[in-house]
Amino acid sequence: MSVLKDGLLAFCEWCNASFFGHAIRDSVWAFPFVEIFHLLALAILGGSMLVLNMRLVGIGFRTDSVSILARELRPWIVGSILVMLLSGFLLFSTEAVKMYGNWAFQAKMSFLFLAILYTFTIHSRVTHREDSSPAVRWSTAIISLLLWTGVGLGGRALGYVTTAAASVTP
Amino acid sequence: MGFDHFLQWLSETSFSATMRESVWAEPLVETVHVLTLTLFLGFVLFLDLRLLDVMLRHKRVSEMFAQFNPWLFGGFAVMIVTGLLLFSADPANFYSTLFFKIKMIMLVLAALNVVVFNATLGRRIDEWDTAPRTPWKVKLAGAISLVLWVCIVAAGRGIAYALPPP
């Protein structure tokens, strides 16, 4: 376990010291510029998930079958996740070592791992077929919503946790 | 002068004081504002991309409006209320930033775009609703909206960096 921890910490230190970590940290506008992409991808990813899950449980978009919507939205979901991962990684690299010890960041990454795993396994299965029972549809949609909301809340919280820690340390 | 008075009045309201003094009010409201981006901005972008023939092309545009609009209006209401609350925490300083003014002007332009669209192209939607490709004017309206909303997000982020530190 400590090998893994050491490895993660070394990775965070490498990110901190990397040229992009440096470049974004040293620039006044690079950080907010990357944040804009993170937010736009959030809108596309969250919007796609809302549409798909609402259709899955039948509270909207009922003129299309679930599987047609799932197929149409898939490239947008995959694309926005990639943009979020890349932009998120760049934001992370500016204070990677600080994030390593941030509980909100750890929670966000745990939720993110589960959300991505879930989206491309169970969620993908259920949304690409038409014969699931209402109970399966509802539980699939709710779990998806909870996991992604966890990622979002973790993301909001990590900013405040950093601020709190920074104001305590002299 | 009148507007300065309004900003002054706003900063003296009880909800303004709560936003400033409560530990949880500002993070909570900001979190709702950001997470509602998925509902509001996400759906706006979907409609724009549909007008541009990029997304969900199998759906008629009128069907897109019918299905997305109720959620969109709900999301917009949340964005306005939470946005106003965030603004009310420190009206004079928000207003003093260039990004805030840019954001407000862009919001008005985005609204104007919707009004003009509804009064012109939207009225004749039957003529192009089932067309294999949307007319160029419709694409233009979608492109204008898309650019404006990207700028609104950018300006919104800019405000946070331009505000004087608390």
pLDDT tens for residues B6-49?
A: 999 999 999 999 999 998 999 999 999 999 999 999 999 999 99
Rounded to the nearest 10 degrees, what angle do helices B25-35 and A30-57 cross at? 70
Domain that holds residue A24: 2-168
Residue of B nearest to A49 (CA): B38
Residue A25, min C-alpha distance to chain B (Å):
14
User: What is the spatial distance between Cα A45 and Cα A155, in angstroms, rounded to a whole number?
Assistant: 15
Reduce the DSSP state of residue B59 to 3 states and report it: coil
Residues of A in contact with B153 (CB under 8 A): 36, 39-40, 43
Q: Which residues of A touch B (CB under 8 A)?
A: 28-29, 32, 35-36, 39-40, 42-51, 60-61, 63-64, 68, 72, 76, 149, 152-153, 156, 160
pLDDT in tens, B116-157: 999 999 999 999 998 889 999 999 999 999 999 999 999 999
The residue that leads in pLDDT, B1 or A53, is: A53
User: What is the spatial distance between Cα A17 and Cα A11, in angstroms, rounded to a whole number?
Assistant: 10
Are the C-beta atoms of A94 and A31 separated by less than 8 Å? Answer: yes
Alpha helices in A18-133 (DSSP H): 19-26, 30-57, 66-93, 96-100, 103-118, 124-127
User: What is the spatial distance between Cα A140 and Cα A159, in angstroms, rounded to a whole number?
Assistant: 30
Identify the pLDDT of residue A161. Answer: 82
The structure's pTM equals 0.92
Select from B27, B31, B38 the Cβ nearest to the Cβ of A43. Answer: B38
User: What is the spatial distance between Cα B94 and Cα B7, in angstroms, rounded to a whole number?
Assistant: 10
Residues of B in contact with A166 (CB under 8 A): none
Q: What's at A5, amino acid-wise?
A: K
Identify the pLDDT of residue A170. Answer: 40
What are the residues whose beta carbons fall under 8 Å from the beta carbon of B83, sequence distance 6 or more? B33
Task: Name the phi and psi angles at B151, rounded to 5.
Answer: -65, -35
Distances (CA, A) of B125 to A166, B122, B131: 55, 5, 10
Residues of B in contact with A72 (CB under 8 A): 55-56, 58
Predicted confidence band of residue B1 (pLDDT cuts 50, 70, 90): low
pLDDT in tens, A84-122: 999 999 999 999 998 988 999 999 999 999 999 999 999
Angle, CA of A5, A9 and A15, to the nearest 5°: 145
Identify the pLDDT of residue A167. Answer: 52
Longest alpha-carbon distance in chain A: 60
User: What is the spatial distance between Cα B89 and Cα B91, in angstroms, rounded to a whole number?
Assistant: 6
- Cβ neighbours of A36 (radius 10 Å): 18
User: What is the spatial distance between Cα B60 and Cα B38, in angstroms, rounded to a whole number?
Assistant: 22
Residues of B in contact with A68 (CB under 8 A): 58
Q: Per the structure, how many domains does chain A have?
A: 1
Q: What is the ipTM of this complex?
A: 0.92
B115 near A CB under 8 A: no
Which portions of chain A are predicted below pLDDT 50?
168-170
- Six-digit token string for A54: 């609402």
Are the C-beta atoms of A42 and A104 separated by less than 8 Å? Answer: no
